[in-house]
Amino acid sequence: MTIDADEISQDAEAALASGTGDRLAAMRHSAAHMMAAAVVELFPEARLGIGPAIKDGFYYDFDLPRPLTPADLEQIEAKMREQQAADLRFEGKESSREDAIARLERENQPFKVEIVNDLPAGETITFYRHGSFEDLCRGGHVESTSELGAFKLLTTAGAYWRGDETRPMLQRIYGTAWDTQEELDQHLWRLEEAKKRDHRKLGRELDLFTFHPESPAAPFLHPRGMAIWRALEEWSRQVRREAGFHEVRTPSLVRKELWETSGHWGNYQDNMFVLDDYDHVSGLKPMNCPEEILIYKTRSHSYRELPMRFADYSTLFRKERTGVLAGMFRVRQLTQDDSHVFCRDDQVDDEIRLALSLVRKQYAPFGFEPRAKLATRPEKRLGSDEFWERAEGRLRERLEEDGMSFTLDEGGGAFYAPKIDIFIEDALGREWQMATIQADYQLPQRFDLEYRAADGGFERPVVIHYAIYGSFERFIGIITEHYTGAFPLWLAPVQVMIVPIADRHLEYAETVRAALADAGLRAEVDERSERMQLKLRDAQEQKIPVMVVVGDRDAEANAVSPRLRSGASSQGVPIAEFIDDLRARVESRELWPFDDGGDTKA
């Protein structure tokens, strides 16, 4: 595995400052130093990169004379335990820039020299020591190695220095540390469970989607995967229709002039696929908003027409670096359930209310309870303090009014306005950032948008942006792992598997399948010449919600004998009653059969 680009860029700047004000982070940062000390003891020629605390653990990057093995990790971990038992204090001391560089050059630590050279003039430079090991570091440690709780080294990976594919490839060691052994054991269980739930593994096993080197970072959706996509899409479209949205579709290839006006050419070009086609340069679109603005601009608008709500399900393209690609979670071709609302400033509050209500509505069938972060003004921003006070206040009031749980993300807003970031938690307790709700005052200005106001003059609209699933690809990856591939009935790619007891029941089985299909239900017949129990076991392994056994009695009575994935079963259910029950469950988008409550009718 290779790590680069975004992951490094997010961690590199915090590498010397991790752990400040947070005991668990300080403990993990200290563990990274202890790991580096152990590595240097085993490999004296090691050159050190960075070693920050990260979510749930820590890592350190090394330039080593050979690839690390599992046996090496065991040795490193053992030496860390020796340090833990030795109760070594973490002690810091300041250094001048000149002395720091001279020392690091003498010790043949070029990556540390680069870090020092990149520090702002006048910044205090410190080294932290425990035992005989000393490392360039801003601090944020526990007092002693004995305060390190329960820990374990997990794995190694390749990592480009500073996320630059042209720089040296280092070896990264990942570890995790917790206050207690019980917390460590729980975390290790979650990691093992995550492996079982890996959407890439389940995607292949359940015949949902695959990835191929002929089109890297773009999923190939199989018929069953496409069935999930369409179910998600149908629900998203229903939510938008009922909220007064009108669907639009915009081109994928757009000349650079549009991206220059929007600001993407100057700020996002590295993430765009650019084509130079004779007399003009174009880019495959990474987002929809500038093109929907062109739709708005095709004619003049009155204040009476606003708000105008557009939904766009066009395909987007983002030139992601190889090292950050992760199955469906990070792809180069994606589709969002995108929403753009053009409204008057006095309508912004109502549109934020609507957005929050649609987030709740669209997530409800999945069992997700959204929570939010209010991202406030960054250090570099446009607009006056009065604007930011008012904008942040409006978003805070809408969140409080909605009752959605939220925290503050100080300084996390966009440069042009604050935003609401929506999060969900999956079955393993992992948090995922989903929708971002933004009130945009800048793009309307850059594109000189306007509408005729009630007094006959012209005013500028506000654009509200949000996509509730985010991308379909990422959302499918998330729910595949959340449900471990055992989707609720309304989402399941095959909702009913019909199992004839013998070959003579094939004709009736096909009659049942056709009746289910006519009712809009996804059903298949297992026509293989295998034993019934094997067919049922295979259907169970494919995580199909309902299995229907048909035999002589069923055919004579025009009935079915359903068995649920949960294990419940019943006999001789009239086919019309069975279909009506399934249709009602699908239309209500309930989580059944997870909470079947003992109901075995269907």
Residue 421 in contact with residue 433, Cβ under 8 Å? yes
Select which of 336, 362, 495, 542 is catalytic. Answer: 336
Place of tokens 């006999």: 571
C-alpha torsion sign, points 234, 240, 242, 246: negative
Catalytic annotation on 318?
yes
- Residue 92: name the closest of 171, 154, 33, 14 by CA: 33
CA 160, CA 166: separation in Å to the nearest integer? 8
Which tokens hold the place of 101? Answer: 């560089």
Catalytic annotation on 340?
yes
Catalytic annotation on 419?
yes
- In 243-330, alpha helices (H): 256-262, 264-267, 289-297
Select which of 200, 318, 332, 522 is catalytic. Answer: 318
Catalytic annotation on 264?
no
Q: Which helix (H) or strand (E) covers residue 419, if one does? A: strand 419-425
Question: Is the bond preceding residue 213 a cis peptide, omega within 30 degrees?
Answer: no
Select which of 256, 332, 340, 543 is catalytic. Answer: 340
CA 57, CA 55: separation in Å to the nearest integer? 6
Catalytic annotation on 482?
no
CA 211, CA 220: separation in Å to the nearest integer? 6
Neighbours of 9 (CB within 10 A): 14
Neighbours of 350 (CB within 10 A): 14
User: DSSP letters along 456-474, please?
Assistant: SSEE--EEEEEEEEEEHHH
CA 491, CA 417: separation in Å to the nearest integer? 36
Place of tokens 């050190």: 48
Select which of 11, 338, 426, 526 is catalytic. Answer: 338
Select which of 289, 321, 398, 543 is catalytic. Answer: 289
Select which of 152, 200, 465, 522 is catalytic. Answer: 465
CA 458, CA 496: separation in Å to the nearest integer? 58
Which tokens hold the place of 446? Answer: 């850059």
92: β partners = 128
Select which of 47, 309, 419, 563 is catalytic. Answer: 419
267 phi/psi in degrees, rounded to 5: -115, -15
Catalytic annotation on 319?
no
13-17's contacts with Cβ under 8 Å and 24+ in sequence apart are: 14/52, 15/50, 15/51, 15/52, 15/115, 16/50, 16/52, 16/115, 16/136, 16/137, 16/138, 17/138, 17/139, 17/140
Residue 468 in contact with residue 358, Cβ under 8 Å? yes
Supply the residues annotated as catalytic. 289, 318, 336, 338, 340, 419, 465
